[in-house]
Amino acid sequence: MNAIRAWVNRCRRNLWHGLFFRILFGERHQGLILPGTRISPSTCIEHEQFLHLGDDVFIGHFNFIEASAGVRIGRGTQITNFVSIVSHSTHRSVRVAAELSGQDLKEAEGAVLRAPISIGERSFIGPHSTIEAGSTLGHGTLVASHSRVRGVFPDFSVLAGSPAEVVGDTREADEVWLEQRPSLQAAYARWRAALSSEGTDR
């Protein structure tokens, strides 16, 4: 009996994994075919029409993306697991605008904070992190796990903390790693040069 129960449980887990946790290459978004982009079926996206994705983006399990004010995720970026990206906040309105019926709505302007979010190319957002409304992360940014990010940060920032602060530069670790792998240096240099030509390499 125990052997049968174990077999049923294993079959059930495999079926659930195949249906709800398998991440496949290929998305169609904003009319574009993104062959290298992968989004977990367990990720919740609200206001998807305001989400703009580059190709080769990876969005893992159990993430929440609220894009009502606009969210842009650059090419090659990885959003790991249990990440929240929220382009609006109601923390003020739940207190000061609790009773809006019959009130002058101009008085309530600004009670809900809304601002777009931009995450640059080839960034990495660690698990259990929150990207708040109005944040801009430059290309090549690394966000450490459990970080709360609010603000504008330059390219190649290493961000950590709550609130997150710049604690390093990803180029330093990249250069050490690439010294031992000469065959990859040219591709990395081409990517850096392309960013510089766009005026984004700060």
Q: What is the pLDDT of residue 91?
A: 67
Instruction: Look at residue 134 and tell me whether its pLDDT is greater than 90.
Output: yes
For residue 196, tell me if it sits in a domain.
no
For residue 198, tell me if it sits in a domain.
no
Q: What is the pLDDT of residue 202?
A: 46
CATH number at 33 reads 2.160.10.10
For residue 182, tell me if it sits in a domain.
no
For residue 18, tell me if it sits in a domain.
no
Q: What is the pLDDT of residue 93?
A: 64
Q: What is the CA radius of gyration of the chain?
A: 20
Q: What is the pLDDT of residue 95?
A: 64
For residue 98, tell me if it sits in a domain.
no
**One-letter amino acid for residue 158 of the chain:** V
Cα 103 from Cα 107, distance rounded (Å)? 8
Question: Residue 76: CB partners within 8 Å, gap ≥ 6?
Answer: 54, 55, 56, 57, 121, 122
- On average, the pLDDT of the chain sits at 86
Cα 39 from Cα 77, distance rounded (Å)? 12
More confident residue, 107 or 176: 176
Q: What does the pLDDT look like over 64-75, one tens digit per residue?
A: 999 999 999 999
Instruction: Look at residue 108 and tell me whether its pLDDT is greater than 60.
Output: no
More confident residue, 126 or 7: 126
Neighbours of 31 (CB within 10 A): 5
pTM of the model: 0.81
What the block records as the tokens of 175 is: 């250069």
For residue 75, tell me if it sits in a domain.
yes
Indicate the number of domains in the chain: 1
Mean pLDDT within 141-156: 97
pLDDT above 90: percentage of residues in the chain: 61
Per-position DSSP letters for the chain, written without gaps between them: -HHHHHHHHHHHHHHHIIIII---S-EEETTEEETT-EE-TT-EEESGGGEEE-TT-EE-TT-EEE-TT-EEE-TT-EE-SS-EEESEE-TTHHHHTS--TTS-GGGGTTSSEE--EEE-TT-EE-TT-EE-TT-EE-TT-EE-TT-EE-SEE-TTEEEEETTEEEEEEHHHHHHHHHHT-GGGHHHHHHHHHHHHHTT---
Mean pLDDT within 8-34: 75
For residue 29, tell me if it sits in a domain.
yes
Cα 122 from Cα 125, distance rounded (Å)? 10
For residue 73, give its domain range. Answer: 23-89+110-169
Q: What is the pLDDT of residue 197?
A: 66
